[in-house]
Amino acid sequence: MSLPFPQNDGDRPSRLQLARYATEELDGAERAAIERWLAEHPEGRAYLDGLEAAREQVALFDAEVLRHRASSVAGEPPSVPPPANRPFRLRWLIPILVAALALLVMLPRRIHEPSETARTPLGVRIKGDAALLVYRLQGGTLVPYEGQALGQGDVVGFRVNPAGHEQLVLLSVDGTGTATVFYPQAGETEPPLPAGDADVALPLTVTLDGAPGPEVFVALFDTDPAQARAGALAAWNAGGAAGLEQRAHAQHGDAAPVEKK
């Protein structure tokens, strides 16, 4: 049985060499040798064309995202200002400030939740905004998720209100800071979301694992999965679940935390 396994005996430049040629890393003699070979081998030229075409596919440069990622990869704390030297007598203010901050974070959701929505899933916002609605599987039916703590094996489903957007990225960041993109699924291209103001049921469910919560599900629109994931991780690293929700809303998306047991 033969296998399509390459054996480059040096009779052709490797793809690494071709890439170094494309990025102008080679010296004059090496470049000349590659160009002689390219003149007789269109497959080499096609490979270089493919590299150039990838310029259109690669994510846009974002120094902030890269710097956040670099600091988190290094295991360094998120880039928050160092604490000032507070006089001891002011420390009693800390719990009050934390409570006030929590209230501020919660306030927008209370405003967006209609009063009659006792059975409305979390994530509903005023009409016209993009929204993410979370459901949980109960007795074979998806019912609105209302904030209760879910455990490993529980299944959640989703509806979104795209509010005129065509492309959706649905992802989550769990309590360990692990981000997972669910929609579009890896390697797949999803069709545009339907126009109009109707909620759209997503054709997927997610079985929760045992990772600590909250697991924040985020719907972002008209972005690509890699950018959305990088931005979500940067927001989570900078401000945790609350930071992630704020960033989602700032980008005309929505977020819904699911509490975990």
Partner 1 sequence: MTLTDTELAELYDRYAHVVYRRCLSILGNEEDAHDATQETFAKVLQHGERFREESSPLTWMYRISTNHCLNTIRNRKGRRNKLQVHRQDIAGDGIERPATAGLDDDLVRRLLTETDEQTRQCVVYTYFDDCTRQEVAELVGISVPTVRKRIRTFIERARRVLGVAGAVAGVLLLALLGHLPWSPP
Q: Name, in order, each residue with C-beta under 8 angstroms of 176's C-beta and a sequence gap of 6 or more.
A: 211, 212
Residue 52 binds partner 1 (CB under 8 A):
yes
Q: Which stretch binds partner 1 (CB under 8 A): 30-38, 80-88, 123-131, 227-235?
A: 227-235
What is the enclosing helix (H) or strand (E) of 41?
none
Helix 225-250 vs helix 93-112: crossing angle, to nearest 10:
100
The answer to whether the beta carbons of residues 214 and 259 sit under 8 Å apart is yes
Q: Check residue 142 for interaction with partner 1 (CB under 8 A).
A: yes
Contact call for residue 65 and partner 1 (CB under 8 A): yes
Smallest distance, partner 1 to C-beta of residue 259, A = 17
Q: Is 66 in the site for partner 1 (CB under 8 A)?
A: yes
Residue 132, H or E segment: strand 131-138
Residue 20 engages partner 1 in binding (rule: CB under 8 A): yes
* Spatial separation of the C-alpha atoms in residues 221 and 257, rounded to whole Å: 18
Q: Which listed residue (39, 196, 226, 259) binds partner 1 by CB under 8 A?
A: 226
In the complex, minimum distance from the CB of residue 93 to partner 1, in angstroms, rounded to a whole number: 36
Amino acid identity for residue 75 in this structure: G
Using rule CB under 8 A, residue 57 touches partner 1: yes
CA dist 172 and 217 (Å) reads 4
Contact with partner 1 (CB under 8 A) among 67, 86, 127, 261: 67
Residue 133 near residue 158, CB atoms below 8 Å: yes
Q: What letter does residue 130 receive in the DSSP assignment?
A: -
Q: Whose Cβ is closer to partner 1: residue 106's or residue 138's?
A: 138
Token couple for 200:
């759209």
Site for partner 1 contains 46 (CB under 8 A): no
Q: Which of 30, 113, 222, 224 binds partner 1 (CB under 8 A)?
A: 224
Among 216, 230, 232, 244, binds partner 1 (CB under 8 A): 230
List Cβ neighbours of 247 (8 Å cut-off, separation of 6 or more).
231, 232, 235, 239
Q: Is the distance from CB of 143 to CB of 136 less than 8 angstroms?
A: yes
Q: Site size for partner 1, by CB under 8 A?
A: 65
Residues engaged in binding partner 1 (CB under 8 A): 1, 3-6, 8-10, 12, 14-17, 19-20, 22-25, 50-52, 54-55, 57-59, 61, 63, 65-67, 69-70, 73-74, 142, 157, 180-182, 185-191, 200-209, 211, 224-227, 229-230
